[in-house]
Structure 1
């Protein structure tokens, strides 16, 4: 039950309170995937010491740990009975869902497991994004049916027992594809995105799968209270693989951004006066004409995006080109590039790929070394400090794709890097004194993926407006 006046629930009352009063990050949790399909683990990283201080090894193999979320977040801030003490850790490969107890933040332990058979009984598989709800429940997007064919839906976990309660959509509705989602009760909406068929992306990126329509292009608009699909927005060929979706953090803003991976485009989505939702392309990263790659036109392949808590800056990674970008979104319809940094990628000047035409660069970027070690692969997952001044980066996307695009990174293991952010004028600078290297792990190199702070972050916390729903005026 929501309790007015309570200030002891999880998270912070507002995004700006989190930004201005939140603590500096000291620990970060990182799923580590073993390239040969052995036992993945959750690494606890001490950011001050720049090293892994604890490894929670999962009891099964071939899990492919991926994205994670919390049992409670800032949407429950007004409820004194809620506590952010469980990390929800879906395994996209095995369809398990691990519940990790972080009551002792430095030494997490396994609390509960939802097994694949329980998921299969609901005709779902391939769990991905996890968000806590103000009700105390946990909602997780699922990308496939029990046979791992494409079927987009959502499951609910009980926030106390962590048992499956069933699927979220009304009348067992589903959409062709699924991936990420963000809910906004003030406008009675939830919007989900689309990757592709688990059977397709699980074998790597295959051009035949793209041609056969095994990847999605839609934003799916759901009525939050009735749990029904209201609208589908087709982004077309330029919007193939709309992945990470972010509403602006201000819960009264009826707009946000979605990154479309393959052709590296960002769309702004927004509520029209008519009550329908719409989308417009606001950023396009042009492909590079190349020789020595699988295609003549090399797309950026935009894989992660996030928005600073003050809704001023948008950040994203181009995993194939190898850069991270910062855009000023003070005018959301006209994002302005203010920062860019290359940290690896597929167009380095000492590699096999020759860029023969580039609409943005005058020369190919050089390799980057940090503490005497070359950065292999390219920037992928992003996480930002609450104050917006530090951007953390890891390089692994998904192990079948890692092996396809960056085999040297797989052999070597990934890195966690830190980028210093100019929050006044814009600008990105690599911190040459920070490195968490996953090369020297006890059982060999691993692939570090998503990052979470115990106290919440820019990508897992959703804030609610004081009013339950929007009034008559936009």
Structure 2
């Protein structure tokens, strides 16, 4: 008699996931900023015992031009084990890969050969707009009820975005998730506290304010996103807004605690209009309401205006530009990407109200152009951007491109794509892996990373 067994990469708790086998592959979204050749999903060998360690071993080219592959995610993950919506027979097999510019969604099968994934379905932009009511799909998360896709605009591309759901087995688009969106106008990221029936969303801007680059008048006018929104997960209704103030622009990446008994999380604000600093905020449950407080502030660094891009010359400083963060599965270490200065920072947040800086590595950067041992001493541009952490917390990977047209605003000479690896000590501290430096072809730039079997930014758990 045959029995169904859960996918071995579904773990009831983050602690069990941390004890899982090490990843041997990474899937990396890479795009052509000139939109003249197809974007690709690249497969990178992460096995130190492999002759291909630190190399791109396969490229899955998209069928069209100009997608701008950005953030993508798994069809299913550990939340499939949750008691309110169990789907233990599902597999973490497919990657849902949207084009942020095109609004096209690709379904990529990583089985039977994980090194040679195949595109098995494509949702064309018109179908996404008609069936979801949204365009510019940005963030993909697998949840208990299906695949959540946070999108930045409505079907016409000129009004508020939100969340739509996809079936995690058929990949059919079910439709708009929100029943009552309340005052929410902008979108960016979305995640949840499953144990508290709460969804959290953050904010960027509408396509007209980013698809041709950041608009200085919009930024200096405090008109990009600066709020968090809290929703009831099951009634799908807006419950609360937290405003960080228009000074704190671009409230981006949401990283809830992995332990479902801990009702808090972290989010970054990319830039302060007061002094060009970046900040990390903690949101937390205070009684029956959500609250937030700034816990980390990273200052801008003085710089020679002759070394700065036109956008920054008048400030004589390099902003850190914190554009991504990642939280280790044990909720102990928060990793912070400073795309402007070139720092990747590690903070001990085991006491989330009082974080401690425990490690820093610098590579790239607008002014510093710090190099890597395998780069033969040549200056590197771009900086730590999309960051991903292994399940056991020992390895940190990051790439250096933010978004095609925005890359050129801060790095006018163009970003040459690369991916690096850091080794994280158990008690804190970071060291650059001198043997791992993946360079991208000049046609493409790398963005988000997903690790084989899951990673710290893809799963949510129902058990502590």
* TM-score (structure 1 length as normaliser): 0.88
Q: Is the 8 A contact 1:256 1:270 kept in 2?
A: yes
* Aligned counterpart for 1:185 among listed residues 187, 194, 200: 194
Q: Which residue of 2 is the match for residue 154 of structure 1? A: 163
Cα 1:408–1:370, aligned 2, differ >3 Å: closer, same or farther? farther
Q: Which residue of 2 is the match for residue 32 of structure 1? A: 30
- Displacement of 1:58: 0.6
CA distance in 1, matches of 2:181, 2:367: 46
Q: Is the 8 A contact 1:200 1:214 kept in 2?
A: no
- Displacement of 1:6: 6.2
Q: Which residue of 1 is the match for residue 105 of structure 2? A: 97
**1:207 aligns to 2:216 (yes or no):** yes
CA distance in 1, matches of 2:181, 2:286: 28
* Aligned counterpart for 1:226 among listed residues 226, 235, 243: 235
**1:403 aligns to 2:373 (yes or no):** no
CA distance in 1, matches of 2:458, 2:199: 15
Q: Which residue of 2 is the match for residue 436 of structure 1? A: 438
CA distance in 1, matches of 2:347, 2:247: 20
Q: What SS class does the counterpart of residue 449 from structure 2 fall into?
A: coil
Q: Which residue of 1 is the match for residue 399 of structure 2? A: 394
CA distance in 2, matches of 1:253, 1:417: 32
* Residue segments in structure 2 that go unaligned for 5+ positions in a row: 273-277
* Aligned counterpart for 2:95 among listed residues 87, 91, 108: 87
- Displacement of 1:213: 4.6
**1:380 aligns to 2:379 (yes or no):** no
Cα 1:331–1:123, aligned 2, differ >3 Å: closer, same or farther? same
**1:241 aligns to 2:239 (yes or no):** no
- Displacement of 1:301: 0.9
Cα 1:269–1:449, aligned 2, differ >3 Å: closer, same or farther? same
* Residue segments in structure 1 that go unaligned for 5+ positions in a row: 352-365, 467-474
* Aligned counterpart for 2:323 among listed residues 288, 298, 303: 303
Q: What SS class does the counterpart of residue 431 from structure 1 fall into?
A: strand
* Aligned counterpart for 1:334 among listed residues 343, 350, 354: 354
CA distance in 2, matches of 1:41, 1:367: 26
- Displacement of 1:203: 1.3
Q: What SS class does the counterpart of residue 408 from structure 1 fall into?
A: coil
CA distance in 2, matches of 1:457, 1:409: 30
Q: Which residue of 2 is the match for residue 12 of structure 1? A: 11
Q: Which residue of 2 is the match for residue 43 of structure 1? A: 42
Q: Which residue of 1 is the match for residue 448 of structure 2? A: 450
Q: What SS class does the counterpart of residue 450 from structure 1 fall into?
A: strand
- Displacement of 1:409: 4.4
Q: Which residue of 2 is the match for residue 194 of structure 1? A: 203
Q: Which residue of 2 is the match for residue 359 of structure 1? A: none
Aligned residues: 437
Cα 1:174–1:369, aligned 2, differ >3 Å: closer, same or farther? farther
- Displacement of 1:162: 1.0
CA distance in 2, matches of 1:245, 1:62: 27
Cα RMSD after superposing both structures: 2.0
- Runs ≥4 in structure 1, deviation > 6 angstroms? none
Q: Is the 8 A contact 1:31 1:42 kept in 2?
A: yes
Q: Which residue of 1 is the match for residue 420 of structure 2? A: 417
Structure 1 range deviating more: 318-327 or 171-180: 171-180
Cα 1:368–1:84, aligned 2, differ >3 Å: closer, same or farther? closer
Cα 1:408–1:456, aligned 2, differ >3 Å: closer, same or farther? same
Q: Which residue of 2 is the match for residue 316 of structure 1? A: 336
**1:282 aligns to 2:295 (yes or no):** yes
Q: Which residue of 2 is the match for residue 427 of structure 1? A: 429
Q: What SS class does the counterpart of residue 451 from structure 1 fall into?
A: strand
CA distance in 1, matches of 2:323, 2:228: 16
CA distance in 2, matches of 1:62, 1:205: 19
CA distance in 1, matches of 2:459, 2:451: 11
Q: Is the 8 A contact 1:415 1:437 kept in 2?
A: yes
Q: Is the 8 A contact 1:369 1:375 kept in 2?
A: no
Q: Which residue of 1 is the match for residue 286 of structure 2? A: 272
Q: What SS class does the counterpart of residue 209 from structure 1 fall into?
A: helix
Q: Is the 8 A contact 1:152 1:174 kept in 2?
A: no
CA distance in 1, matches of 2:65, 2:116: 21
CA distance in 1, matches of 2:108, 2:451: 14
**1:252 aligns to 2:261 (yes or no):** yes
Q: Is the 8 A contact 1:76 1:134 kept in 2?
A: yes
CA distance in 1, matches of 2:122, 2:134: 16
Q: Is the 8 A contact 1:143 1:178 kept in 2?
A: yes
Q: Is the 8 A contact 1:142 1:153 kept in 2?
A: yes
Q: What SS class does the counterpart of residue 15 from structure 2 fall into?
A: helix
CA distance in 1, matches of 2:221, 2:159: 13
- Displacement of 1:428: 1.3
- Displacement of 1:371: 4.1
Q: Is the 8 A contact 1:10 1:76 kept in 2?
A: no
Deviations along 1:376-419, whole A, 9 cap, x unmatched? 22111111111111111110111111122124343xx3111111
- Displacement of 1:299: 2.0
- Displacement of 1:8: 4.3
